[in-house]
Amino acid sequence: MKTKECVAQLKSLGIDHRTSRYLLKEVAGVSNFLLDPEVPDSTCRKIFRYAKKISTGYPVQYALGYSYFYKNKFKVNRHVLIPRFDTERLVEEALKYIEPTSRVLDCCTGSGCVGLSILCEKHCDMTLSDISRGALRVAKSNAKSLHLDPHITRSDMLSDLTKYDVIVCNPPYIKSGDIASLDSAVQHEPILALDGDVDGLKYYRILKDQVREHLRPHGVMLVEIGYDIQDSVIELFKDTFRDISTVYDYGNNPRVVILTNLINPNIGEWL
């Protein structure tokens, strides 16, 4: 079948133009649509099988079993959040603080996309942690595919872990009441990866309570935030860190909060 005809049939299944092109590129290797190349029948059948699932709102990345993030391809399935482009800002910023001797934690690692992307760029002692066993299996598989060997451990936030120089964390931060109104593809992602409780702040509160025990005195913690919770997150951490700054994503939304200089609660000074 010709590519154009394939796109037309996908449209009749309710697949939008962008997704059709993505499927054809990924599954059939079509890169130049103007040439309207022939797609083998067996490949077309495969594409239509994916399309049937996607037409019900199932995410294209889960259908294919992978997603792209930063410079690599990551396995994904229903146990992990599909890595978001905006989260690449977390990687870019974290890299500025990491040295070869740094002990680094990617808390709430999911697919491992953040910690593994960092580890691809810089040698360091990296730990990936998550509470979800399913997510940890995916992170492990991604580490293997990238020929990386981080520590991978199950932990409820920081509670079962040691001390680090750098902690990166993209916690669940969607307000519970907002989840139902999100895109149908998001409804297929694990609720454990999305739900930040009524105000979206549940996991930042836990980090605030635990961080003094798990960050070295001159360490840094970088957390991803939702575009509308910047002020609340800063307010939450203002008695724990002396220096707090925000980095914006490429859509110009506040995306990463950088926390440095832990305050010693006893003397009100830096630790």
Ligand X SMILES: C[S@@+](CC[C@H](N)C(=O)[O-])C[C@H]1O[C@@H](n2cnc3c(N)ncnc32)[C@H](O)[C@@H]1O
192 binds ligand X (CB under 6 A): yes
- State the nearest-atom distance from the C-beta of 53 to ligand X, in Å: 21
Q: How does DSSP assign 8-28, residue by residue?
A: HHHHHTT--HHHHHHHHHHHH
Q: Which stretch binds ligand X (CB under 6 A): 20-28, 111-119, 213-221, 239-247?
A: 111-119
83 binds ligand X (CB under 6 A): yes
Helix (H) or strand (E) holding 193: helix 191-194
102 binds ligand X (CB under 6 A): no
Among 64, 120, 131, 146, the residue binding ligand X under the rule CB under 6 A is 131
- State the nearest-atom distance from the C-beta of 185 to ligand X, in Å: 15
What backbone phi and psi angles, to 5 degrees, belong to 150? -75, 165
179 binds ligand X (CB under 6 A): no
How many whole angstroms separate alpha carbon 134 and alpha carbon 224? 22
Q: How does DSSP assign 22-75, residue by residue?
A: HHHHHHH----GGG--B--HHHHHHHHHHHHHHTTT--HHHHHTEEEETTEEEE
Beta-carbon contacts of 45 under 8 Å, excluding residues fewer than 6 positions away, are none
Binding mask 26-65 for ligand X (x = CB under 6 A): ----------------------------------------
170 binds ligand X (CB under 6 A): yes
Which residue sits closest to ligand X, CB atoms considered? Answer: 110
How many whole angstroms separate alpha carbon 208 and alpha carbon 211? 6
- State the nearest-atom distance from the C-beta of 133 to ligand X, in Å: 10
129: three-class secondary structure by DSSP: strand
Residues that bind ligand X (CB under 6 A): 80-81, 83, 87, 108-111, 113-114, 130-132, 135, 156-157, 170-172, 192-193
